[in-house]
């Protein structure tokens, strides 16, 4: 979930504005300050980080790759990659696969705008980092990763409605242990569910980043149409507003 300006209080905005100043004037090398991230990161982003950690622990003993739909700047993707390296350094079979246009929303369906009130609804909305930028972060992570000669992270660029079915076609071995749905929109969420859920064994986890979020009703509609909300036990964490999940 990216910050929705309408949801920020003036105190939130003041904090987001001040953080740059505090970070720039703090002691320590850039690398030391980055490693000291809790000093600067917002309470909300630490909550999101912990949610990802809790989710990862649930799939640690489930075979299958991690598929993230919606990469933005790569925070989630690199969190899962680093958690995998920390907790299962010899598991070179589990890949972390990120799907994104790397150019923001490619299209928006009327099931997104009807009832939705996000200020990001436009083609190119929610554009994050360029793919090369995320690839540089992956190369940085690879520098001291165990079994670094076998690639861990894959970036798949383009509209997921086309790239996801093609990826499966080209990778018939794929088993998915974690499907992280974070494209915010109806169509790519529906396609991701139709493509990847049949590849998920029992115990695998689907994460929803915008379920029950008024801004982006498309995700709820896609989940209801493809899986049926009443068929799922959907749980959440008390320390993050958006993340919810179901264990298959």
Q: Which residues bind ligand SAM (CB under 6 A)?
A: 1-2, 68, 70-73, 75-76, 99-101, 104-106, 126, 128, 159-161, 182-185, 188
Supply the minimum distance, in Å, between the C-beta of residue 161 and ligand SAM: 6
Identity of the residue, 56 or 99, whose beta carbon is nearer to ligand SAM in the bound complex: 99
Handedness of CA 158, 77, 244, 38 (dihedral sign): negative
Q: How far is the CB of 165 from ligand SAM (least distance, A)?
A: 12
Nearer to ligand SAM, 153 or 183 (CB): 183
Please, where are the H alpha helices in the chain? 10-25, 30-35, 43-59, 75-87, 110-113, 131-142, 160-170, 186-196, 217-226
Question: Residue 163's closest CA among 243, 205, 103?
Answer: 103
Min dist CB 178 to ligand SAM, Å, is 12
Distance CA 193, CA 18 (A): 40
Least distance between ligand SAM and beta carbon 172 (Å): 22
Residue whose CB is less far from ligand SAM, 159 or 240? 159
Residue nearest ligand SAM by beta-carbon distance = 76
Instruction: Compare residues 99 and 208 and give the one whose CB is closer to ligand SAM.
Output: 99
| 8 A C-beta contact, residue 168 and residue 195 | yes
Q: Which two tokens stand for residue 155?
A: 């970036």
């Amino acid at each position: 979930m990216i910050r929705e300006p309408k949801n920020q209080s003036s105190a939130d905005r003041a904090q987001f504005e001040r953080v740059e100043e505090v970070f720039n004037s703090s002691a320590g090398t850039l690398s030391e300050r980055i490693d000291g991230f809790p000093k600067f990161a917002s309470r909300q982003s630490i909550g999101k980080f912990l949610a990802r950690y809790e989710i990862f622990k649930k799939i640690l003993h489930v075979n299958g790759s991690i598929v993230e739909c919606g990469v933005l700047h790569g925070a989630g993707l690199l969190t899962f990659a680093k958690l995998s390296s920390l907790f299962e350094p010899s598991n070179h079979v589990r890949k972390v696969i990120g799907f994104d246009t790397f150019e923001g929303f490619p299209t928006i369906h009327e099931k997104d705008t009807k009832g939705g009130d996000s200020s990001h609804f436009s083609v190119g909305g929610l554009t994050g980092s360029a793919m090369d930028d995320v690839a540089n972060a992956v190369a940085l992570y690879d520098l001291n990763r165990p079994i670094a000669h076998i690639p861990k992270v894959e970036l798949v660029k383009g509209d997921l409605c086309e790239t996801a079915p093609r990826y499966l076609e080209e990778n018939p071995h794929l088993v998915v242990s974690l499907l992280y749905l974070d494209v915010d929109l109806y169509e790519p969420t529906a396609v991701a569910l139709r493509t990847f859920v049949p590849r998920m064994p029992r115990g695998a986890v689907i994460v929803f980043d915008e379920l029950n979020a008024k801004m982006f009703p498309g995700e709820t509609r896609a989940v209801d149409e493809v899986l049926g909300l009443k068929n799922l036990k959907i749980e959440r964490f008390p320390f993050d507003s958006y993340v919810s999940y179901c264990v298959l």
